[in-house]
Amino acid sequence: MVSGKLKERFNQWIKAEARFLHRLGLSPNDVTALGLLLSLCSALLYLNWRRSPLMLPVAGVLLLSSGFFDALDGAIARMFGEVTTFGGFLDSLLDRYSDAAVLAAITLGGLCDPFWGLSALIGSLLVSYSRARAEAGGVRMASIGFAERAERMVFIAFLSLVSPLWMGALWWGMILLALMVHVTVIQRAHYFYKSTRG
C-alpha cells in the first residue's frame, strides 16, 4: 500500500512534467487518452511476446509509462483549475479499459494460466468497483487494501522486467496477483461494513 507521504512526494515530483505538458497545450483528458494508448501498446506486446521475449520488459516499461500519465492527468487538472466531473469519469472509465486490456493480453498471450488470469482481471475490476460503490455511499476507500491500481501496475511491470531471466515470473505472479486483488475486495467489503453498520 502506497503511503500518503509517498504519494505526496510523488505529486510534488511530477509538477514539472505537468507544467511541461500543459505548456504543450495538452488537457487532462488528452493526457488520460495518451495513458490508455500506452496501455494498449503494452497489451499488444504481451499478445505478441513469442516473437521475442524482449518484448516483455518493453511492455512493462510502457505499462509504467501509462501509470505515469495517469498520475499526470490529475496533476494537470488540479494545478491549472481544470478539474471537471466528466474528466474524473473519463479517467476512471479508461483506467478500467487499460487494466482489462493488459490482463486479457497477458492471459491470451499464454503468459499465465487462463483461470488465474481471468480471476486477476475480474478481481482488479472489483477492486475499483468496490471503491466507487463505497464512496458513492459516503465511505472513503483510498488506501484500503494492498492491491490498488498503482501497486498492481508496478507489480506486473516488475514481473515483465524479470521475465527474460525467469520465464515463469508472470505465470506465478498472476496467481499471486489474483489472490491479492480478491483479498483487497474482501478488505474493502469488511471496511465498508464496519463503517456503515452503525
Q: Are 45 and 56 in contact (CB under 8 A)?
A: yes
Closest CA to 169 of 39, 1, 53: 53
The per-residue pLDDT for 5 is 54
In the chain, the percentage of residues whose pLDDT exceeds 70 is 94
Options 70, 73, 91, 95, the catalytic residue: 95
Closest CA to 157 of 92, 51, 72, 68: 68
The separation between CA 1 and the C-alpha centre of its own chain, rounded to angstroms, equals 13
95 is catalytic: yes
Domain count, the chain: 1
User: What cell numbers appear for 99 in the block?
Assistant: 487494466
CATH number, domain of 17, equals 1.20.120.1760
Q: For cell 511530477, what's the residue?
A: 14
Answer whether 0.85 is exceeded by the pTM. Answer: yes
The per-residue pLDDT for 8 is 63
Q: Are 21 and 72 in contact (CB under 8 A)?
A: yes
Per-residue pLDDT 10s for the chain (198 aa) are: 444 455 666 667 788 888 888 888 889 999 999 999 999 999 999 999 999 999 999 999 999 999 999 889 888 998 888 899 999 899 999 999 999 999 999 999 999 999 999 999 999 999 999 999 999 999 998 788 889 999 999 999 999 999 999 989 999 999 999 999 999 999 999 999 999 986
Domain limits for position 78: 4-196
